[in-house]
Amino acid sequence: MGLRVAEALPKHVRVLATTSSNNRLPELRAKSITPLQANLDKASSLHRLTSLATYALQLAPPSNNGASDIRTANLVRALRLRSKPTALVYASTTGVYGNCNGEWAPETRAVNPQTDRAKRRVDAETRVRTFGKQSNVRVNCLRIPGIYAADREGGDPLDRVRHATPVLVSSDDVYTNHIHADDLARACIAALWRGKPQRNYNIAEDSGIKTGDYYDALADKAGLPRPPRITRAEAEATLSPMRLSFLSESRRIDNLRMKKELRLLSKTRAASTFLIK
């Protein structure tokens, strides 16, 4: 995701990126990105991050265990040390809303995380907002649903259609929300430049479609068989805990703030030829 953001930035912007892998250094340099070797799991490796960037974008996922996000805690601690960035954008998740039983979720809705990973996201949001208020840094949390793109590993929804991954019968189905990776990159840049102080933004396409209907539309567009439908009881007996968790929360994401304040137009690409080349 970071490379998409870097490629979408104006050419005159100097981009620095953290990486803990020596293997990534040639790739980053080839794209005119200055690599900084740092590991968000090791606070001692982050001293080089201070006083370098005017704008900071945190795209790293949270740590894998516990109720708190140690990676974001380490980053915020490092950014406090010297001169601070003008703005910090944190890539969060719409999972912080939990199960809304199909209701709309604007940014003003109270968070209700129901998985450990969503709880870590709430912890990270709290940390970056507190940092922003205490350090006079403009902070924005982008609440992001499922990210898709044909060239993104694990991010092509048509793969699930090709593999006949089951979806729920209509009576048990949940609403789904998505954002294309290229549109998310545009949203990250818009928030860095235009986000209002200490503001959350839902970054999602116009939605209101249930998961099964979404995959049916993809299958029809691609000329593939529609995925099989199963009951919730059958899903609980056969699907992985991770896949089941995505079918246990139903919400429709309100993106009006994204449109009005970040001035981003929403365009749904889910059933377009973009995904089926």
| Token pair belonging to 114 | 């129901």
Local confidence band at 266 (pLDDT 50, 70, 90 cut-offs) = low
Report the predicted TM-score, pTM, of the whole model to 2 decimal places: 0.91
CB within 8 Å of 176: residues ≥ 6 apart = 145, 146, 207, 209, 210, 211, 214
Query: Would you call 54 helix, strand, or coil by DSSP?
Result: coil
Residue 255 has pLDDT above 90, yes or no: yes
pLDDT given at position 275: 33
Q: What share of the chain is helix, strand, coil (3-state, %, to 5)?
A: 40, 20, 40
Residue 277 has pLDDT above 90, yes or no: no
What gap in Å lies between CA 149 and CA 166, rounded to an integer? 21
pLDDT given at position 178: 93
Beta bridge partners of 142: 91, 201
What gap in Å lies between CA 76 and CA 124, rounded to an integer? 10
Per residue in 83-93, pLDDT (tens digit) is: 789 999 999 99
Per residue in 93-103, pLDDT (tens digit) is: 999 999 999 99
* DSSP 8-state symbol, 25: H
What gap in Å lies between CA 203 and CA 205, rounded to an integer? 7
- Mean of pLDDT values over 225-244: 92
What gap in Å lies between CA 89 and CA 198, rounded to an integer? 10
Helix 70-79 / helix 116-135 crossing angle, nearest 10 deg: 10
| Token pair belonging to 170 | 């209509």
pLDDT given at position 217: 92
Domains delineated in the chain: 2-152+178-207+251-267 (3.40.50.720)
Residue 60 has pLDDT above 50, yes or no: yes
Residue 257: other Cβ atoms inside 10 A: 17
